[in-house]
Amino acid sequence: MDGMATIFLRRAGGVLTILVALVAAVVAALAAFFCAAFATALVPALVAAALVAFFATFFLSCWAGLALFGLRRSRRPAALAAAVATVVFGAAAGIPLFRPMPRPAGPPPGSDVRFWDLPTGSRIAYSHVPAVGRPRPAPVVFLHGGPGTANDGIPPAGRALAADGFDVYAYDQLGSGRSTRLSDIRGYTVARQVADLDAIRRRLGADKIILIGQSWGGELAGHYMAAHPEHVAKAVLSSPGVLWYGAFRGRSSGELWDRLSPRQRERAESLASSPRMSAAQLLAEVNPSAAHALLGDDEADELFRRILDASLPAAQCPGRPPASLPANRPGFYVNQMTIADARTLPDPRPRLRTVTVPTLVMRGECDYKDWQVTYDYRRTLPGSTLVYVPHAGHAIAMDQPAVYLAVVRAFLLGHRLPLPPYTAATPPA
């Protein structure tokens, strides 16, 4: 009886060892895949490291498990079992990880799209609407949001400003739209975007420019003013992004996802958590070049576009006419890397407290960003005026286009604002 019990326990132990071996092999493969990324960006090398780790772990554990069954020659069966398991694991993991994703061609460039080849190395797509009549001294430059969510050329408000005598420009920032994609995505930094903007100013031959920035575009305008305040005539910051992330350590600054309905969030999360996107985002923490090699720009940008489309309703006030994304191609990696870089920057506010550029800060009633994100600009910039726009979300120009244009035109033309300045330190009740 004791012999039977011993045999049973040995066999049970063998089965358990083999089952544990399977789990351990999967863990070892994942660890090897990401650890190898510290040494190389070559995806085949990462895959090879994962498969070798899976085979070795499963083989050794399986060998020990078969020995518990009393097999004297268990090494060859263990090797065969490990080989079969490795093939199955490779297929099960590789099919979702390497299945080609949609990569539709972007829309053809409009007849008004031109390109600047800047001394920074960036090739930048832009559109221009010349001033009607005699142009005013400072041209207007629109800065789109994101980072990486390029507009379709000149925004509607830009054409109205051209009729007021402003030369108006809008460009696709580096890494988005029809502009350059970098082969080394670590080059997507706030400093690079500031350098591109100053190179554009010089290309325009303008000593001073007027900046109109939306969301991240407002954040970029803030960083540009900190670096080159003498070259900014006026600035309009519509729903500007976080000025300094250090002020929000340990708490949220307000995220688009916070405003999504459960159904909208489920759709957006299903796109963001696809195996390939998840692997690329994890690799980016270890080796951004490996992430880029696994998930190229075409596929990443299309997936990013679908995520943006699913989350766009959260950028608007409830009840407003639904907006649609620009047809222009967004940039996934410039979004991820520039935000990561912005989180490491020193505080620009001491410098900005000395900047007296006349600045209009616009905040929508339904903006998902924390109030302090917006108010930080008002209390930091001594030449700033804050305007609170009712019935508008983060995308003020989408929700209240007429109000947006009226406020911007009045500010740039030096007229009385159609909405009163908001002076309280706390948001309206």
Q: Residue 177: left if φ>0, alpha if ψ -120 to 50, beta else—which one?
A: left
35: which 2 tokens?
């650890």
**CA within 13 Å, CB half, 340:** 14
Give the closest residue to 140 by CA, choosing from 123, 152, 157.
157
- Cβ proximity of 51 and 90 under 8 Å: yes
The H or E element that residue 364 is part of is: strand 359-364
3-class DSSP assignment, residue 204: helix
Looking up tokens 């992430």 gives 291
What is the spatial distance between Cα 97 and Cα 295, in angstroms, rounded to a whole number? 10
Residue in the block written with tokens 């009393």? 70
Dihedral of CA 282/287/289/293: which sign? negative
Give the integer Cα–Cα distance in Å for 282 and 107: 31
Ordered by start, the domain boundaries in the chain are: 2-98, 114-413
For residues 237 and 377, is the Cβ–Cβ distance under 8 A? Answer: yes
pLDDT at position 15 is 53
DSSP state at residue 229? G
Strand order in the sheet with 114-117: 114-117, 123-129, 168-171, 140-143, 209-214, 232-238, 359-364, 384-389
pLDDT score, position 4: 52
pLDDT at 336: 95
From 237, 234, 231, select the one nearest 377 (Cα to Cα).
Answer: 237
Distance CA 200, CA 281 (A): 32
Pairing of strands 168-171, 123-129: antiparallel
Stretches in the chain below the pLDDT threshold 70 = 1-19, 63-74, 105-107
Residues linked to residue 238 through DSSP beta bridges, in sequence order: 214, 362
CA–CA dist 195, 201 (Å, integer): 10
Q: Give 42-78 as a DSSP string.
A: -HHHHHHHHHHHHHHHHHHHHHHHHHHTT-SS-HHHH
**Angle, in degrees to the nearest 10, between helices 275-286 and 75-98:** 100
Q: Are 302 and 263 in contact (CB under 8 A)?
A: no
Residue 236 three-state SS: strand
Residues 9, 352: Cα–Cα separation, whole Å: 73
Please give the CATH topology (third level) of the domain spanning 114-413.
Answer: Rossmann fold (3.40.50)
Residue 175's φ and ψ, nearest 5 degrees, are 90, 5
- Give the residue carrying structure tokens 């003013």: 225
- Decide: 352 and 225 in contact? Cβ < 8 Å: yes
User: Rounded CA gap, 90 and 47, in Å?
Assistant: 9
Percent helix, strand, coil in the chain (nearest 5)? 50, 10, 35
Sign of CA dihedral 247, 244, 226, 377: negative
Q: Which residues does 290 contact at the CB level (< 8 Å), separation at least 6? A: 37, 40, 41, 42, 43, 46, 283
- Give pLDDT, residue 73: 60
User: Structure pTM?
Assistant: 0.90
**8 Å CB contact between 361 and 235:** no
Spatial distance between the Cα atoms of 4 and 23, rounded to a whole number of angstroms: 29
β 232-238/359-364 pair status: parallel
Beta bridge partners of 364: 389
Looking up tokens 């759709």 gives: 267
Show the tokens assigned to 139: 């041209």
